Amino acid sequence: MVPDSRISQAAQLLQQAKHTVAFTGAGISTPSGIPDFRSKGSGLWERYNPMEVASLSAFRYDPDKFYKWIQPLALTMIEAEPNPAHFALARLEKAGLLAGIVTQNIDDLHRRAGSEIIFEVHGHLREATCVSCYSCHSTNGFIEEFINTGETPHCPECGGVLKPNTVLFEEQLPYDIFMGAANLLSQSDLIIIAGSSLEVVPVASLPVGPLNAGARLIIVNNYPTYLDERADVIFREDVAVVLPRLVSEVLGE
């Protein structure tokens, strides 16, 4: 049960803010059936060593192993549907009360829920780039075949291995997207962190500057984060329950 007092307090912050930004992580998509990375008992990194399956060097050494690992996860993402938390943020943006979303997720659920201003700082699965000729290709033509067969996709132009446009460990973040996210957050006077452990840097450090400049902070996350002590309101309850209630309160529904 989410206390009405905290919902009201967070709603007041939203109503007073002029530039609110949402910062989301894997936890916002777990209600859609997509596992996160660090939850005890279910996180992906409890079952796999990320440097062995999801690092740039591991991909270059054995792309087949990478694709074998990501196949079931890709299927889960494609079959997943946006949950009430995604739709709540889309409603908030449509109402003119959310300037945009900075997300660590690669699942595309924010876009599918109707959000428009999204900075995917860890990339996405909509495109892939050839490691040999560097040509970029939409994954629409081969991702379904890959999921069905598990075979490593190859470039239609040169035959090289295609790498999804997601950011692996050891890999640099997309500069334009990262700077766009930093700029969006730098203008914020309220940040809503939803479903992020704030453990993956440098993205996890992005809220610090705005907070130092006076921005307020709402956190919706199952586990503590390093920014909890700076939060105005903290929710440990289900993000798919909290965000819809919060948005309904703000919109007077």
Asked whether the beta carbons of 191 and 210 are under 8 A apart, the reply is yes
Report which of residues 141 and 47 the model is more confident about. Answer: 141
Q: Per-residue pLDDT for 246 more than 50?
A: yes
Using one digit for the tens of pLDDT, what is the confidence trace for 51-95?
Answer: 666 789 988 999 998 888 888 888 888 899 999 999 999 999 999
Angstrom distance (rounded) from CA 11 to CA 251 = 9
Greatest CA separation found in the chain? 60
Angstrom distance (rounded) from CA 121 to CA 102 = 7
Catalytic residue among 19, 86, 110, 122: 122
Q: Where are the alpha helices (DSSP H) in the chain?
A: 4-16, 44-47, 50-53, 56-61, 63-79, 84-94, 109-113, 143-149, 175-186, 208-212, 239-251
Using one digit for the tens of pLDDT, what is the confidence trace for 185-213?
Answer: 999 999 999 999 998 889 999 999 999 99
Percent of the chain with pLDDT over 70: 93
Q: Per-residue pLDDT for 46 more than 90?
A: no
Percent of the chain with pLDDT over 90: 73
Using one digit for the tens of pLDDT, what is the confidence trace for 21-41?
Answer: 999 999 999 999 998 654 454
Q: Per-residue pLDDT for 231 more than 80?
A: yes
CATH class of the structural domain 39-79+125-166: alpha beta
CATH of 1-34+83-122+169-198+212-222+233-253, one of 3.40.50.1220, 3.20.20.70, 3.40.50.300, 3.90.1150.10: 3.40.50.1220
Mean pLDDT of the chain, nearest integer = 91
Residue 49 — pLDDT band, cuts 50, 70, 90?
A: low
- For residue 20, report the phi and psi dihedrals to the nearest 5 degrees: -95, 135
Domain ranges in the chain? 1-34+83-122+169-198+212-222+233-253, 39-79+125-166
> Cα angle vertex 194, ends 208, 139, to 5°?
105
Has 137 been annotated as catalytic?
Answer: no
CA atoms within a 13 Å half-sphere pointing along the CA-CB vector of 160: 16
pTM: 0.92
Residue 210 amino acid letter: P
Asked whether the beta carbons of 80 and 125 are under 8 A apart, the reply is no
Mean pLDDT calculated for residue range 168-178: 92
Q: Per-residue pLDDT for 1 more than 50?
A: yes
Angle of the 84-94 helix axis to the 239-251 helix axis, nearest 10? 30
Q: Per-residue pLDDT for 233 more than 50?
A: yes
